[in-house]
Every structure is written in C-alpha cells, then in structure tokens.
C-alpha cells in the first residue's frame, strides 16, 4: 500500500482553531526581546506600551529602539512626559518623522496626567478618546497592556492573515475583511500575547518578500503556503503617483554667520517645528521674482545651485534655495549659529537643506545621555 505524501497528512486548511495555540507556543519560545516589552511573567507597563505604539506608527522597530530608550531615560513615566514642554519633545523626536505624533504624544500625556490621575484607561473605547490614539493603537494597548480581548491589526497582521486565508481582495479594500478574519483567530485568553505573537511572526518569518514557510508554526493551516506562492499576498491595488510640489527657501545669514530660523504653525505638516523661511509649497513652479514676495526681508537674494528634494507620505517636494546677507532689516524669527542648529527642533527636511548649504546638523542629546549615565550609576 502506497503512503500518502506528508503534505496530505497535515491539518485541513479550514481548521484554523489550532492557529492561536500554535502561535502562542511558538511565541513562548521565540518572542523578540524589545525594550518596551515586559519579560515573561511581568505585567506590562501601559506607559511603555503606549509610547512604543505611537512611535511604531509607520516606523520600523530598528529605527524606534534608540528613540524609545532616550525618551524613557528622560521621561520615565507619563507624569514626567506631561511636565515636559512641547519644544523638548519635538527636539527629542527629531528624525523620527510624522511629527503630528509628537504633538499628540504631548497632548495625550497631559490628558492622562490631568484627567485620569496618571493612569491609562484599560478599554478600547476610553483609549480611543485620548489624543493621537486611533482604532489600531487603542486595540494594541488594550490587548498588550491590559490583556483585553482586542483585535490589533497592523501591517504584519494583515500580511499573516491574508496568507492564512489567501485573501484575493487587494489592500486597502481588504482591510475590513482582514480584520474580521483576525477577530475570528483571536483567543479570549492571552489576547495580548497573541497580538504580539502575530506581529513577531510577520516581522521574523512571514516577511514580505521571502517568507520562511519551512519554520512557520502555522504553515499547516496556511492556504497561501499550500498554494506555493505566499509572497503573492497580500494583494495591493496600484498606488497613484505622488504629486510634486515646489517651493523656494530663504537662507538668510547675519554678518556673524548666524542663520534665521522660525517656528512653523502648530497645525499642519511639520507643525510646531523650526524651519528656514520658505514660500508655500504648491504644484506650480515659482519664479524667483514671485517668490521674493514671501521673503523674510528685502535683501540681495541669489539662487544657490541645485535642488533640495524630500519625500512626504502624499507628495514629493522640490525646494530651490536662495541666499542673502542681512542688511538693515529686522526680520522676525530666531538667529542660530550653524553649530547651534542641533539644539532646535529641525525636521529632516531642514537638516537636508542645511547639508545642501554645507552644514551638518545633528540633534543634540547630551543632556539625555548624561541623565541615562547618572541613572545607571
């Protein structure tokens, strides 16, 4: 009598009841060690969970790690963060991008400190009422920090679920279906560990380009693995090209070498951060004569060779730089020596402009390093 191939002896694809137990067993042995993750047997710190989840929005674990450690060293709890100024938080956030997160982080800390006695609420509904916390973040905090049964669906979870069920609807239209399927997989017990297990699986094994199905703990239940082309999932609708916007930036120098910077409005893109003055950013190119109407003062403005380019989520930006030496005018703003620019909350775009002008700007983090060293002693 011939023996059936091993692939035919596996659990049926429709049987997903074993997914949660298998993933939790795998997670208990293979969980990632992350600075915000509580060790096994320890109760998670909601402050650390919240801070990490805000930082991880549209940002990788590798990028977030050093920022998280600096924030924790400087502001070890929500009360300390609430007592900080927005300028301090924006300064520490430099380079992490999506600066609205930093502004909401500050607002949320103050709400938790002032209205909740310094304690984060433990339900999705109450968490969603806090600044900067949307559906995913509320579910992640409720599950991970408080072990509530909540369905946290990020990009890793979407990828894992899309492959488990070989979902043919492309993203983003498939988001509702993927969340429903993830809900069906989420157990009543250890919901927080399960959420982190799926995230870890997507980050380490069920990766986008070359998933390692041979060591996947749920491969027997995965339709995409059975189909032989798991990297095909999740399907994605074609992205429209990002529009191009253009602007003119004014690099104004004093006789002593100081450069003029100013604060952007609190609302909107890069809100509350410092910048070198510029025109609005628009679809149509600027002529230099037209742009000078937005200059911080009258001066002998000269065009600088080259273009500064930067990519935002929804558009590409090209900046033409013009340069001048201050005369008798007294423009509003802050004067900073090139060596002091790192003390100000300059976003990556403005540091790129400085580099275009031959100046390397690195955020100053000396105080945080000293604080961390003192605490270790």
CB–CB of 199/142 below 8 Å? no
Q: Identify whether 53 is a catalytic site residue.
A: yes
Provide the phi-psi class of 256: left if phi over 0, else alpha when psi is between -120 and 50, else beta: alpha
CA-based angle 176:180:185, to the nearest 5? 145
d(CA 144, CA 31): 14
Other Cβ atoms closer than 10 A to 57: 16
Distance between alpha carbon 12 and the CA centroid of its chain, in Å?
38
- Out of 53, 92, 158, 275, the active site residue is 53
CB–CB of 147/192 below 8 Å? yes
Q: What are phi and psi of 325, to 5 degrees?
A: -105, 135
Helix (H, G, I), strand (E, B) or coil at 235: coil
Map tokens 């959420």 to a residue: 195
Alpha helices in 60-205 (DSSP H): 61-74, 78-83, 86-93, 100-115, 124-128, 135-146, 155-164, 175-185, 191-204
Helix (H, G, I), strand (E, B) or coil at 36: coil
Residues taking part in catalysis: 53
């Amino acid at each position: 009598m011939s023996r059936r191939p091993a692939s035919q002896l596996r659990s049926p694809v429709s049987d997903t009841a074993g997914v949660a137990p298998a993933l939790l067993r795998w997670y208990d042995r293979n969980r990632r060690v992350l600075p915000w993750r509580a060790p096994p047997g320890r109760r998670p710190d909601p402050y650390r969970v919240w801070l990490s989840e805000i930082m991880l929005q549209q940002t990788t674990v590798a990028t977030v790690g050093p920022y998280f450690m600096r924030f924790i060293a400087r502001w070890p709890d929500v009360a300390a963060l609430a007592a900080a100024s927005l300028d301090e938080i924006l300064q520490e956030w430099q380079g992490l991008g999506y600066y609205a997160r930093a502004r909401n982080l500050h607002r949320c800390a103050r709400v938790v400190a002032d209205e909740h006695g310094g304690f984060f609420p433990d339900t999705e509904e109450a968490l969603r009422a806090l600044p900067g916390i949307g559906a995913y973040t509320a579910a992640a905090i409720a599950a991970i920090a408080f072990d509530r049964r909540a369905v946290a669906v990020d990009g890793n979870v979407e990828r894992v679920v899309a492959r488990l069920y070989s979902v043919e609807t492309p993203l983003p239209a498939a988001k509702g279906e993927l969340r429903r399927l993830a809900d069906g997989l989420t157990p009543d017990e250890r919901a927080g560990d399960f959420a982190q297990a799926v995230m870890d699986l997507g980050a380490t094994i069920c990766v986008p380009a070359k998933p390692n199905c041979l060591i996947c703990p749920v491969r027997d239940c995965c339709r995409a693995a059975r189909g032989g082309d798991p990297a095909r999932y999740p399907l994605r609708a074609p992205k429209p090209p990002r529009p191009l916007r253009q602007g003119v930036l004014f690099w104004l120098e004093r006789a002593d070498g100081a450069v003029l910077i100013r604060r952007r409005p609190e609302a909107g893109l890069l809100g509350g951060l410092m910048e070198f003055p510029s025109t609005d950013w628009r679809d149509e190119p600027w002529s230099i004569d037209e742009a000078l109407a937005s200059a911080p003062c009258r001066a002998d403005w000269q065009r600088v060779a080259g273009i500064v380019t930067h990519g935002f989520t929804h558009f590409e930006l090209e900046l033409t730089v013009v340069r001048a030496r201050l005369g008798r005018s007294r423009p509003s703003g802050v004067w900073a020596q090139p060596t002091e620019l790192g003390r100000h909350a300059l976003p990556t775009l403005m540091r790129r402009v400085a580099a275009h002008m031959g100046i390397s700007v690195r955020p100053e983090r000396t105080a945080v390093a000293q604080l961390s060293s003192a605490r270790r002693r």
